[in-house]
Amino acid sequence: MSSKFMKSAAVLGTATLASLLLVACGSKTADKPADSGSSEAKEITLYVEDQYKAFAETVAKAYEKESGTKVNIKSGDQLGGLDKLSLDNQSGQAADVMMAPYDRVGSLGTDGQLSEVKLSDGAKTDDKTKSLVTAADGKVYGAPAVIESLVMYYNKDLVKEAPKTFADLENLAKDSKYAFAGEDGKTSAFLADWTNFYFAYGLLAGNGGYVFGQNGKDAKDIGLANDGSIAGINYAKSWYEKWPKGMQDGTAAGNLIQTQFQEGKTAAIIDGPWKAQAFKDAKVNYGVATIPTLPNGKDYAAFGGGKAWIIPSSTKNLEGAQKFVDFLVSTEQQKAFYDATNEIPANTEARSYAEGKNDELTTAVIKQFKNAQPMPNISQMSTVWDPAKTMLFDAVSGKKDAKTAANDAVTLIKETIKQKFGE
């Protein structure tokens, strides 16, 4: 799984930095064929994150053999490449095809940084992944490549089977063997970084909360202070009353959770697929499962994420770029991408292939994604992360009651949207 997804603040806190850098050119569509007589028509430049370079080289050879089109590969930092996309578009230095997290696709597209993409029948795209690459204006700016979701890791040496409900986790918290050393009455039986809005959102959404209305497209309708959100925040608070004080430290909680789990002091945690390798390296006898059902019987509705193939707006070979994207999201190449990276294909046929491998992590991500909610991909999402983080901290630390913290957050988000976007 991609280690960059959570490690970069660009995904969580400043997800739309590049989207605020506007260019004069609008998006193009593949309806306008490239000049078949130009040298570019038989040449494509692909930019990928360093970790995907080996796969890119393999897929480039396969495509060159099939199409006769030469694929030039550049690699570097994925999010850094997106941050400078506006300048690269203006200078003509942008690649023809790149990869971007779903939460960047819509905003980059509406800001004129991306060409529209046609989703081929061969992409086997479902409605949820299509929504992740569809902007508020209804245009599609990417072809879904992989999916991601939070999951639950559990220590098989501590519990015989994966907890199924949060009631199971609450029972574990009563076991004295999980008492946190140095803090009387505190437990580390189950841990989750719920002052981080990305991790906590499933609590709010599972109780009926939401970020923006109309499936994340209406920034005027903010649902973070409704009854469902407040119920989710209060449930998080009930756990912080059980947890060590260090869990309130947003900068250190993640390390505390990982250390406790790796040292066999925590039975279950909520984290992303990108953590699996660290647990393997630490030789933890872990299992992976879907996140337990909430006290209300509903599913934990985490954000659904992942990445898409995109075509920058400055490409000189739009038709060729579209054909290459079609190749990348085909079932055969999606299977190859999974085999090379262990990242879950967006292509539903390739996803079934991956699920057939009977890998716990793969199965858990696929199942969890079914209940996930697409992360809003509009530019206004950039105004949510910091106020939501403050909301959660203020509530779970007791600085404010949940309703006041939520209302204050919504007020700040609305004010920031008005300042940045004039809405």
Considering the domain architecture, whether residues 243 and 310 belong to the same structural domain is answered as no
- Of 169 and 34, the structure prediction assigns the larger pLDDT to 169
Q: What's the rounded mean pLDDT across residues 216-223?
A: 96
Residue 409, CB half-sphere, CA atoms under 13 Å: how many?
30
Considering the domain architecture, whether residues 312 and 281 belong to the same structural domain is answered as no
Establish if 18 belongs to a structural domain. yes
Domain residues for the domain of 194 are 151-301+384-421
pTM for the model:
0.88
Number of other residues whose CB lies within 10 A of the CB of residue 130: 17
pLDDT at 29: 55
Distance, in Å, from the CA atom of 135 to the CA atom of 106, rounded to the nearest integer, reads 4
Domain boundary among 374, 392, 413: 374
Is the separation of the CB atoms in 379 and 112 below 8 Å? Answer: no
pLDDT at 41: 62
Considering the domain architecture, whether residues 172 and 276 belong to the same structural domain is answered as yes
Per-residue pLDDT at 31 exceeds 60? no
Per-residue pLDDT at 5 exceeds 70? no
Query: For residue 413, which phi and psi values (nearest 5 degrees)?
Result: -60, -45
β-pairing, 143-148 with 218-222? unpaired
Is the separation of the CB atoms in 172 and 163 below 8 Å? Answer: yes
pLDDT at 28: 55
Considering the domain architecture, whether residues 316 and 287 belong to the same structural domain is answered as no
Establish if 283 belongs to a structural domain. yes
Number of other residues whose CB lies within 10 A of the CB of residue 221: 11
189-207 pLDDT, tens digit each: 999 999 999 999 999 999 9
Per-residue pLDDT at 17 exceeds 80? no
99-120 pLDDT, tens digit each: 999 999 999 999 999 999 999 9
pLDDT at 14: 39
Is the separation of the CB atoms in 351 and 149 below 8 Å? Answer: no
- Of 5 and 239, the structure prediction assigns the larger pLDDT to 239
Domain count, the chain: 2
